[in-house]
Amino acid sequence: MLPSKIDPVALDQHLTEAADRLGTPAYVYATDIVEARLADLRAHLGRWFAISFAVKSNPNPALLGWMRDRLDYLDISSGGELVLGRQAGWDPARISFTGPAKQEFELRDAIDCGLGELVLESLREAELADRLAAEAGRIQPVLIRIAPDRVPKGFGDQMAGRPSPFGIDVEDAAEILPRIAALPNLRIIGLHIYSGTQSLKPDAICENWRIFMQVFSQTCAALDLRPEKLIFGAGLGIPYHPGDQALDLAAIAAEIGPALDTFRADPRLAGTKLVLELGRYLVGPAGWFVTRVVSVKQSRGSRIAICDGGLNANLAASGNFGMVLRRNYVIHRIGGDEAGTRPEEKHDISGPLCTSIDKLGGGVMLPRLDEGDLIAIHACGAYGPTASPLYFISHPLPREVLLTGGQLQDATRITAR
């Protein structure tokens, strides 16, 4: 367990204050928990890895600004995220840019601003970047993203081991990588692999990283490359659902540490920085989605709480963001059972939309919900507002709140047009 779990009573006070001050639905992000998770990562894996944050998991500008002096690197996946990172004060030299469909205007802006590393995902992208770098009079540092031929079982999403838009298939690398290396305005400084996400299985994570090390070693030898940087897509998952077990970083470090030590002992890697790229692992458990019960009804034996925020504001919690079989997130009634005066009952929890898929929970045991009550959905610090169809049916947009040291800050990024 992490050392900075917020006391449940204090948490409910903060969530209630956020709802009363700013309205609902709302996301509340506790930076103290993010900081504790970062410290935990550094304590167990910092011997080998620097840390890069994937902006796509939570691009809130206030959060990115808070991270600026606490994390090593930022990874973006669009020109828009580059703008957000720079507006939050990030030095472009500390930013990498991944993504399978980078457009010319995005690449031009990234190269012109002095981007740290462009992560190349195809020969087409490399040739375009080479031309733009020549026009800018720059030699652009690049990493080449490799897609391994297998991903261990145990990952929520797989981006390699099958046909994929991401990176250069490892079986094609021998033909494509020398052609990239020959481009005069690009300088290959390393490699990148991100092949699986959301794993709660330490053995699968360690096996995946062993695959990375094998691919990195073979590719560096083939290119005669002494890399400055190698990026490991973390794949570290978080518990979303009742019964899920959090990862034990100490166990992961103990299992993979000897292999990492052997890998680092390769003379070719003497000056190499290893970077762990992650997003939801850092911020997911630090966020709550707060929504208010607008109406309660009985329908054919079920008690249904209908809330002011649903899949329009939180697609992930509705089960429509990559979940094969819908499972409830951890949910609680803010205020608890009020000293036993509210017995637990089963509730179906829905949002305000005119569609049957707008469901935030099914058969959830909670203290009896009534109109006006607040509920909090846990593990909502990643893939929240920006991963949701906010404008569907034009309900009010969710607020975003930063909770730091017990103080609330309105951090709402997206407002009605």
- Give the pLDDT of residue 2: 37
- Give the pLDDT of residue 163: 85
pLDDT tens by residue, the chain, 417 residues: 333 578 899 999 999 999 999 999 999 999 999 999 999 999 999 999 999 999 999 999 999 999 999 999 999 999 999 999 999 999 999 999 999 999 999 999 999 999 999 999 999 999 999 999 999 999 999 999 999 988 899 888 876 777 889 999 999 999 999 999 999 999 999 999 999 899 999 999 999 999 999 999 999 999 999 999 999 999 999 999 999 999 999 999 999 999 999 999 999 999 999 999 999 999 999 999 999 999 999 999 999 999 999 999 999 999 988 776 789 999 999 999 999 999 999 999 999 999 999 999 999 999 999 999 999 999 999 999 999 999 999 999 999 999 999 999 999 998 865
- Give the pLDDT of residue 237: 95
Global pTM?
0.94
Q: Provide the annotated active-site residues.
A: 354
**Domain map of the chain by residue range?**
91-278, 285-410
- Give the pLDDT of residue 324: 65
One-letter-per-residue 3-state SS of the chain: CCCCCCCHHHHHHHHHHHHHHHCCCEEEEEHHHHHHHHHHHHHHHCCCEEEEEEHHHCCCHHHHHHHCCCCCEEEECCHHHHHHHHHCCCCHHHEEECCCCCCHHHHHHHHHCCCCEEEECCHHHHHHHHHHHHHHCCCEEEEEEEECCCCCCCCCEECCCCCCCCCEEHHHHHHHHHHHHCCCCEEEEEEEECCEECECCHHHHHHHHHHHHHHHHHHHHHHCCCCCEEEEECCECCCCCCCCCCCCHHHHHHHHHHHHHHHHCCHHHCCCEEEEEECHHHHHHHEEEEEEEEEEEEECCEEEEEECCCCCCCCCCCCCCCCCCCCCCCEEECCCCCCCCCCEEEEEEECCCCCCCCEEEEEEEEECCCCCCEEEECCCCCCCHHHCCCCHHHCCCCEEEEEECCEEEECCCCCCC
Q: What is the CATH number of domain 91-278?
A: 3.20.20.10
Q: What is the CATH number of domain 285-410?
A: 2.40.37.10
